[in-house]
Structure 1
Amino acid sequence: DGLPYELFKNLNAEWEHYLLNLYNTVFLSEKLPDQWSNIIFTLLFKKGDKSDPNNYRSIALFNTITKIFTSILKERLYVWCEVNNLIPKEQSGFRKGRSTMYNLFSLSCLVALHTQVKKKPLFAIFVDLQKAFDNINHELLWYKLNHLGISSKYIRLIRKLYDNATFNLKLNNNITSESCSISKGVLQGDSLSPLLFLIYIADFIDFFHSKGLNGCKINASNNLLCLMFADDLVLFADSRTDAQSKIDVLSEYCELNKLTLNIKKTQTVIFRSSPKVKNLPPLIYENQVIEYVNTYNYLGVPFSCCGAFSSASKYFFSKGIKALGKVREILIKIKSDSWEAKIRLYESIAAATVLYSSELWSLGHLNVAERVQISFFKFLFNLPLNTPNHFIRCETGCKDIRLAILERTLNWWAKVLSMSDDELPKILLFEIYKHCEAIKKHWLLYLSKIMAKLGYDNLSNFSDAEQLLQQQKNILERWSNHLKCVDFERVFNSKYNPVYRCLLSTEKTPFYITTKSPIKQQRLIAQFRLSNINLVRIYFNGEKYVIDTTSRCEMCNLKEKESLFHIFFVCPTYSGYRKSLIQNYIVNADLNTENDNIYNILSVKDNDHMSKVFNYIVYVLKLRKFYFDCFEK
């Protein structure tokens, strides 16, 4: 309809009342304007053969006025479904208060219980339904809505919307004149569609139970047949025979409900304590083989057959580095001189990428997220690859990403503890509590090690969310102080750059970083402050400069080593620029005050100071390059 959401959000009271009357009239009369059911599809090419329709992704543009109306229907229907427990607890997709972590955590716990406590394999069949949302049979949908006891008026309204549904294609900014009817699938872009899909497959678990098949045992009163996140399904089995039986029933369910399995993307992982596995007969789905794999990417997280997250850590490191590439492209384009803008850009793209589900996979691989964060600062300041991580963290003063991980972990832990006793993550967490001594690789084990460092020896002391939340601030403060103390200690004991000890600030980020100034100035200052005491590597204007501070200075005849102190305060070759640029920052060119002088030079206090130090360093580098270029000739 071409009407933006902002228009409806800013309606005055009179127009809101008019819109309310319109919706009430439609609801009572059960008559919807035909145009309300029209959709415009824009096709986006993904990859592969451009003549293959399967290689295009469709973006649906739905009438705003229709979406508001169906969102009202959705809210009422959703509440009714939740109150009457029509959606199985195993389904987490499109449900309030749930995210992918709900399923990821549940899967991780179930794997740990089976492989490490029970010492038994767990068969996980990751089911891929081919275009599940687009293949919903409308007649079956109306039957299921009616069978669940949903009001006839609701069904008639929804059916009216679907019976009149048509679409047009938008190609090269032109909309096709001929409309095509929609005969199957839920309507793309409609607020109600996700809920209708959940209702359509809500009988999935009951269907298996009706065939005499149960889930894998969690404890005496709970078992788990599958996990569902919208159309992402995982079926669990105790053995190859059990797995095959469930695949046969899956085939029957798909046939009855007009759904199609994508056999190429449906795979099975046999979770086990050892990488070795016996040769088992293949699992067969309608005369086609379902592949056994050792790793499967479930909801964006790679799960390996041994239950560890080493493959996930490599995966997220790779994704984090790729995300840093995007950050770099944007920074080069916008040329921002704002430190806050650079950090926000990094956090919203790169950090957000590597922190996805980090509360689950990264506690045992904290160095992975840390490497991504450090890589950002090394790129930003053109620092050599061998610059120690703890030096960079101390210099930038930014929030340690390991602190963010623990914060996310505590939030998730509190969320699980606040769940009702019949929710899967809580059931599985307390089962893990019971068998924590037998579990060697799990989220809880890594969390307990961190908490022990902070003086919390028994996680079971935190038995409810309120108790944990009361201590959360204190826990995070201890973790932050612990990380800072470790970094400061490593800096003070480091032989990499003993001079940096006098530059280190425990309170805030240095002025030269936070001030709005050319990035080339910030980079040059940072490289000198964080340089190796024996070998200074500088990258400036596309050139690499190396200063061996253990060798004699060839720029003068004093026969002294070319140390930073010599370059800034002694070498007579630079005396003219020294006098005009940095003389005011020199306390006394005496070896007894070496650290004080270096501190005064490199502890930039204002933009004028920064500019003068920068110009002096540039002069030194250019003069050295000119000398050595002439010498080589």
Structure 2
Amino acid sequence: MTYRLNLYILNRVCVKGDHPGEFTFFSGGKTSTIDYIAISRDLIPFAKALKIMPKPESDHFPVLLHLHGFSQEIHLTESYRLPLQLTEGFYKRVKWTLQVNQRITDLLKTERLTSLRTSLISAENANALMETYRNIVQELQSQLSQGNNTERTQLQRQPHQQSQTWFDKECLSAKKALSTVYQSFKFNPTSTTAQDLLLQKRQYKQLLTRKKREAIKNNWERLIEAIKAKDTTTFWRITSNIQSRDQTAVDSQISPASWEVYFQELYRDTYSENAGRYVCPNISMESLPSWPPVTTAEIESLVAQLKPGKAPGEDAIPPEVIKNNLDFWSPILASLFTCIDKYGQIPKDWGMAVIVPIYKRKGRQDDPANYRPISLLNTISKIYTRHLYWKLLDWMEQENILAEEQAGFREGRSTIDQCIVLQHLIEKYTSQRTSSLYAAFIDFRAAFDSISRIKLWEKLGSTSIDKRLLQLIRSLHEGTTLKIRCSSQGHLTRAVETEKGVKQGCTLAPLLFNFYINSMVEHLYNLDYHPPKLAERHLSILLYADDAVLLSRTQVGLKRALRALAKYCSAEQLHLNFQKTKIMEFAKRPKNHTWRLDGHNIEQVSRFKYLGVFFHCTGNRKVHADYVAETAQKSSHAILKFLKTGGGHYIPAALKLFEAKPIAQMMYGAQLGPYPNFAPLEQVQSKFLRSTMQVPRCVSNAILRLETGLVRVEARAWIATLNYWLHLSHSPCGLAPLTLRDEFQSTWNKVVATKIATLGFSQKHLLSMGWDQAKVHIRQRILDTERQSDLACSPVFNISADNRYTITPMAYLTNLEVPNHRKAFTLARCHALPSAVLEGRYRKTPALERLCPCESGHIETIEHVLLQCMFYRDIRINFITPWLLKHPGRTERYYTSLLLSDSCSAITYSVARFCAAAISIRRTMTDPTGPVARAICYI
């Protein structure tokens, strides 16, 4: 080939004075040259040097060729970007690691920090205390943030993929030791040095394997933690093997000035300009009743509510600094919060937020409106607002300030509560052929950022709220500013003043917003709007924070309610998003109508996703079942991809993650009652299990569920539904419990009653035993029923007196770490080893004719393979016979159950090795075009 292509191999004597090339391959103590570089004969004059690069950790060594005097035009690729004219402001925090944690812990023990801590606790006035607090923050900030480096390169290169994080100092030291041994062998290639190199190489590879395995388990744990924390970004980043990088404005080339103009316009309060900035004057703190001092116990309770892993504000102090050094911070924060409560003096840096714009992945990237602003606030300020949050919440609940129609961010209420109320009303008013229910799903534009602070203070001031609490909340919102991080290097814009809106990311924001729009319920309560009734209560609107649904029994009534809403929004500085606001008519045969409001058309749709649940105009729940099945399937594919690439085929963690993500996605909305068809949901689970366990299609789904400890999705849905029924029966909060007391009995109520009776319970008995105990009984009864149903489909050998299936995965899935061993043992337990029996299933061969090719005349069953077949005699003697000799005189069925019951990890390991070897032997006897061969390829 080299002669035909006019190529010349350089790994040999090419020109006079040249010397033969070195070996490029080392394995088993022997060397050879099997890696070559071949070039055109025309390029030989440009060849300067040929080097064999040392890479002792591999069997093959890289070959490097230097060409002298040969050049080609090099273009500037898209990985380089021209710099923006950035400001000098800089925000770049240090990544939190164990080393940083130790450094901060040591810093807090220094004489300087200890002295500042003592000074703050014993400060006699507010100014001295605040000054000492600022000094403490500055000391920490210098260690937790990177300095402002304005001398950056003119061409900012995009970050490359980082090296493997698991390759630590231990791996580096082992690699250096291997390199040293390799050099000794290279210059003195004897049998002794070769054996030393082989031993060192084997130890190095074992170390890498262990480190990889630890890293894989760590990644699985991170995934599960991300799901529990509802951190979808981390989930998709890990499963997609995407390196973490900022998706900020640096990718869109939006200038800092453009960001400043956009946010200045967004947060400019026209109401304060028209009404006067001092409509609601401040209150003197000295004239108000005092609060008791904040205790260290309260501080510890507040800090415990902090979620770790959250990005800090401009001070760069993450939650871990407080949570991991509570003894240092408790008295400091107790003194600081007591001082703030007394004098109302807020640290200046608490009013500044760092905005990180995240592209929404739709629309032009140079338009700031297409970015979602994420607000980063100082951690200590968030602890203090949590201190005020509980006081504000207690007042709201004790005084019944918020309307029952509002369920957002309220204890004992959830999105599902609003959905079941809506579903109940839909069925109630569409049960007759001619009746309808009209709903307008309202979308507010930048709702939290739109409300007028002056109107908010006026509304709060007219209530019975503690005036000290009101003044403190006002102080937190005075002089607030923000800076936009406009590059992934941490550059910040100039400060932009925010005059309206509640502070995004602040704990108080949801409560304040709920209070601000609370009057909307009263404004829309009018019988002329023809509202539906729920247990004798008229409902014109359902609210979950800023998600609103207007309800009416007639088209005319809904139009009146929409006009009233528009008038309310105009008065309260709220803005309707007419493009995203949708209208639905729920009916047996819905009709299309024309809807207009304030000169804007509003679209009528046949389905809409409200609070994560899809509703169809006919009330059919199939549309939501298809939606959650599709969503869960995407997550399932991501988990499988990670399992087979970076997940190391670690099945137990994959099963946990499947329950935490795809199962949870399929269960959302399942509380609203059974779907008309569970097949799409069951298919998501069965596909995942079959791909994870690597078994052919002939293995039933029931067996896979038993092996993995999972149950049918339908069973989980029933558990969720009955638990929710218990919740409604025991909880008096909100509107959802009224669905049980309404005169109209919905289908949901009927199927719940039927299911409870089918399980052998009575409603009265379940309610009498208490919520927690009833949940346990319901779950156990359903799981027992499911297990019995699945066991009827399992092989007989798996059912023994001392080994029953449980709700956890079988032990071998964890104990067998080698994927091939685990796969082979799974196939044996499922009666799916490559055999004439398996081939007969595909070719529909009569059962008695599925004979083993060993010509013994026996059917090639799993018993025959394990105990009799002469093809596997040698490996049987090594792996299986020693275990059989310990139990002489037993039946074949007993021996098969002993070997495959997974009751002893040592037996399981031996049988797994036998089955893996048997599959390899059987492959040599298989027709390459037959069904068994295709099954083996699938496996």
TM-score by length of 2: 0.59
State the match for 2:590 in structure 1.
277
Return 609-618 or 304-313, whichever deviates more.
609-618
The answer to whether the aligner puts 1:294 opposite 2:594 as a matched pair is: no
Trace 1:594-613 onto structure 2 (pairs within 5 A). Answer: 594-613=892-911
- 1:277: how far off? 2.4
3-state SS of the aligned residue for 2:656?
Answer: helix
Residues 396-435 of structure 1 aligned to structure 2 (within 5 Å): 396-398=708-710, 404-420=716-732, 423-431=734-742, 434-435=743-744
Name the SS for the 2:736 alignment partner: helix
1:446-595 map, 5 Å: 446-456=751-761, 459=763, 461=764, 471-491=774-794, 505-508=803-806, 510-531=810-831, 550=847, 555-558=853-856, 561-584=859-882, 593-595=891-893
Quote how far apart the aligned CAs of 1:165 are. Answer: 0.7
Work out whether 1:16 is the aligned partner of 2:327. no
Identity of aligned residues (%): 25
Alpha-carbon contact 2:726-2:771 (below 8 Å) kept: yes
Summarize the Cα distance change of 1:556–1:297 in structure 2 as closer, same or farther, 3 Å threshold: same
Q: Give the equivalent residue in structure 1 for 2:279.
A: none
Instruction: Name the SS of the counterpart of 2:494 in structure 1.
Output: coil
- Partners of 1:93 and 1:3 lie apart in 2 by 30
Shift of 1:228: 0.7
Cα distance, 1:249 vs structure 2: 1.4
Structure 1 residues 566 and 145, CA gap change in structure 2 (3 angstroms):
same
Task: State the shift of 1:264 in Å.
Answer: 2.3
Return the offset for 1:11.
5.9
Within the candidate set 914, 917, 936, 1:619 is matched to 917
Is the CA contact (8 Å cut-off) linking 2:452 and 2:500 kept in structure 1?
A: yes
Q: Secondary structure at the match of 1:281?
A: coil
Contact 1:320 1:354 in 2 (8 A): yes
Shift in Å, 1:610: 3.2
Contact kept? 1:406, 1:476, Cα under 8 Å: no
- In the alignment, the residues of structure 2 paired with residue 500 and residue 14 of structure 1 have an alpha-carbon distance, to the nearest angstrom, of 57
Paired residues for 1:91-110 under 5 Å? 91-110=406-425
> Which of 309, 316, 336 is matched with 2:628 structurally?
316
Partner secondary structure for residue 167 of structure 1: strand
Report how far residue 197 of structure 1 moved: 0.9
Deviates more, 1:546-555 or 1:386-395: 546-555
Residue 393 of structure 2 corresponds to residue 78 of structure 1: yes
> How has the CA–CA distance of structure 1 residues 18 and 554 changed in structure 2, closer, same or farther, with 3 Å as cutoff?
closer
Higher-RCO chain (CA-CA 8 Å, sequence separation at least 6): 1
Amino acid at match of 2:755: I
**d(CA) in 2 for partners of 1:516 and 1:626?**
25
Which residue identity lines up with residue 582 of structure 1 in the other structure?
I
Pick the structure with greater CA Rg.
2
Q: 2:451 aligns with which of 136, 156, 159?
A: 136
Distance of aligned partners of 1:489 and 1:622 in 2 relative to their CA distance in 1, 3 Å threshold:
closer
Deviation sequence 1:362-397 (CA, Å, 0-9, x none): 466555554444444322211224432222233334
Query: Matches of 1:173 and 1:614 in 2, distance apart?
Result: 52
1:233 to 522, 544, 548: 548
Residue 204 of structure 1 and its aligned partner are, at CA, apart by 0.5
Give the match for residue 345 of structure 2.
Answer: 31
Could you tell me how far 1:537 is from its partner in structure 2?
A: 6.0
- Indicate yes or no: 2:518 matched with 1:202: yes
Which of 316, 319, 323 is 1:2 aligned to?
A: 316
Q: 1:343 to 1:504 in 2, by over 3 A?
A: farther
Closer, same or farther: CA 584–151 of 1 in aligned 2, 3 Å? closer
SS in 2 for 1:425: coil
Alignment-derived partner of residue 304 in structure 1: 616
Question: Does the 8 Å CA contact 1:536/1:549 hold for their aligned counterparts?
Answer: no
Aligned positions of 1:37-436 closer than 5 A: 37-48=351-362, 49-116=364-431, 120-170=435-485, 171-176=487-492, 178-209=494-525, 213=529, 215-219=531-535, 221-272=536-587, 274=588, 276-278=589-591, 280-332=592-644, 335=647, 341-362=653-674, 370-398=682-710, 404-420=716-732, 423-431=734-742, 434-436=743-745
Amino acid corresponding to residue 425 of structure 1 in structure 2: A
Letter in 2 for 1:415: H
Q: Distance in 1 between matches of 2:850 and 2:698?
A: 24
522 and 149 in structure 1: CA distance in 2 versus 1, 3 angstrom threshold: same
C-alpha deviations, 1:13-48, integer Å up to 9, x for none? 785344333333333333323221000111122202
Which stretches in structure 1 are left out of the alignment for 5+ residues? 492-496, 539-544
- The 1-side partners of 2:836 and 2:365 are apart by 54
> What is the CA–CA distance in structure 1 between the aligned matches of 2:377 and 2:351, rounded to whole Å?
8
Once residues 443 and 400 of structure 2 are traced to their aligned partners in structure 1, the CA distance between those partners, rounded to angstroms, is 25
- The 1-side partners of 2:397 and 2:436 are apart by 34
Flag the 1:117–1:387 CA change in 2: closer, same or farther, 3 A: farther
Relative distance call for 1:587 and 1:322 in structure 2 (3 A) is: farther
8 Å CA contact retained: 2:451, 2:502: yes
Contact 2:449 2:502 in 1 (8 A): yes
Q: Secondary structure at the match of 1:291?
A: strand
Counterparts in 2 of 1:522 and 1:443: CA distance versus 1, 3 Å? farther
CA contact (8 A) 2:813 2:822 kept: yes
- Using the TM superposition, give the Cα deviation of residue 323 of structure 1 relative to its aligned residue in structure 2, in angstroms: 2.1
CA positional deviation for 1:445: 2.7
Q: In the aligned structure 2, how far is the partner of 1:290 from the partner of 1:164?
A: 39
Tell me the alpha carbon deviations over residues 246-281 of structure 1, each in whole angstroms, 9 at most, x when there is no partner.
Answer: 111122122222222222221122222x2x223x43
Q: Contact conserved, 1:363 with 1:447, CA < 8 A, in 2?
A: no
Distance between the aligned counterparts of 1:503 and 1:285, measured in 2? 72
* Residues 480-526 of structure 1: CA deviation (Å, up to 9, x unaligned): 322222223344xxxxx666667994354644234253233222211
Q: In 2, are the aligned partners of 1:363 and 1:405 still within 8 Å (CA)?
A: no
CA–CA distance in structure 2, aligned partners of residues 254 and 446 of structure 1 = 41
- Find the residue that maps to 1:308 and give its secondary structure: coil
- Residues 1:419 and 1:531: Cα distance change in structure 2 (over 3 Å): same
What is the identity, as a one-letter code, of the residue corresponding to 1:477?
Q
* Conserved 8 A contact 1:581-1:613: yes
Do the aligned partners of residues 323 and 582 (structure 1) sit closer, same or farther apart at CA in structure 2, a change above 3 Å counting? same
Secondary structure of the structure 2 residue equivalent to 1:163: coil
- Find the residue that maps to 1:347 and give its secondary structure: helix
Could you say if the C-alpha distance between residues 190 and 584 of structure 1 is closer, same or farther in structure 2, counting changes exceeding 3 Å? same
**1:410-429 superposed Cα distances (whole Å, 9 cap, x missing partner):** 43222222233x73112122
Q: Secondary structure at the match of 1:424?
A: coil
**Residue by residue, what CA displacement relative to the aligned partner does 1:175-194 show, whole Å, maximum 9, x if unpaired?**
32511111322211211111
Deviations along 1:297-348, one digit per CA (max 9) or x if unpaired, are 1111111223232222222222222222333344446646876544433322
Q: Quick check: 516-525 or 198-207, which moved more?
A: 516-525
Equivalent residue number for residue 187 of structure 2: none
Task: Flag the 1:391–1:112 CA change in 2: closer, same or farther, 3 A.
Answer: same
Which one-letter code corresponds to 2:901 in the other structure? S
Distance 1:85 1:334, change over 3 A: same
Evaluate the alpha carbon distance shift between residue 465 and residue 364 of structure 1 in structure 2; reply closer, same or farther with a 3 A threshold. farther
User: What is the aligned partner in structure 2 of residue 445 from structure 1?
Assistant: 750
C-alpha distance in 2 between matches for 1:175 and 1:37: 19
The number of residues matched between the two structures is 605
